[in-house]
Amino acid sequence: MTSGRFASSISTALRHPGVIALIVAGVTIAAMLLVDHGPWSRAKTQPAHVAMYATTGEAARAAGATVLPTKPKSPIEPVRPGPKTSPTVNPVTP
């Protein structure tokens, strides 16, 4: 008799929104720990020829390429339709 009431009270308690939220939170935290700290998330060491250059420009220069600035806009460019925008804060002149 008491085991029937106990099973019924457990079943009722597990349907409570707070208990459901705690179960979902526990499963989510366990999944995040598994994903973030699993063997697949270890730091990958880079070979020396990859780790030696910090920027793309440095790597290009080391390979013998010349890095040139982009060409300025064409002076014959049409006027942009719509309202004028505010000027740039730090305009770059070539």
The H-assigned helical ranges of 1-94 are: 2-14, 17-36, 48-51, 56-62
Q: Please give the Cα distance from 52 to 56 (Å, whole number).
A: 11
What is the greatest pairwise CA distance in the chain? 92
Tell me what pLDDT residue 29 has: 92
Whole-number mean pLDDT of the chain? 76
| Predicted confidence (pLDDT) per residue in 41-52, tens digit | 677 776 666 666
At residue 47, what is the residue type? P
